[in-house]
Structure 1
Amino acid sequence: MPDFKYEITEKIVVLSERSKGWTKELNKVSWNDRDPKYDIREWNHSEGKMGKGITLSDDEATELKNALNNMDL
């Protein structure tokens, strides 16, 4: 598996916390020195681990925000 690097450029919100130190977060993350994207995934910062997640461009995040705003939550 090829190496990759990442940098959390902006911590936005912790959506939930699980036992054993895992948190589900929305952050802006730069992957391999590229422009930061919105990123939703689980992290265990104390152990330096991350789970699978999704990344969203600014346009995709805007579409998601609009869809959530139009829902009755």
Structure 2
Amino acid sequence: MAFEYEVVEECGVLSEGSNGWQKELNKVSWNGREPKYDIRDWAPNHERMRKGITLTVDELAELKNILNDIEL
């Protein structure tokens, strides 16, 4: 299954593993579609990735509201 992706905007790094992979929040265009917010592990230089989730702007806003309500 071949697909194309472009990291349009690097928003931030959530964590980094000892192997150099980073869990990141980015804005990614998949197969030339409108970019969505994306959370997943990336290898250095974004040459490989692991499974993750993509979120629309509305979904990201709802996630932000949920996280704001959580006591840490």
The interval holding the TM-score normalised by the smaller chain is: over 0.9
Aligned length: 72
- TM-score, normalising length from structure 1? 0.92
Q: Distance in 2 between matches of 1:29 and 1:54?
A: 11
TM-score by length of 2: 0.93
Aligned-pair Cα RMSD in Å: 1.2
- In the alignment, structure 1 segments of 5+ residues that lack a partner are none
Q: Once the two structures are aligned, what percentage of the paired residues are identical?
A: 61
Structure 1 Cα separation of the partners of residues 65 and 56 of structure 2: 14
Structure 2: tracts of 5 or more residues without a match = none
> Structure 1: which 4+ aligned runs deviate by more than 3 Å?
none
Equivalence for 2:33 = 34
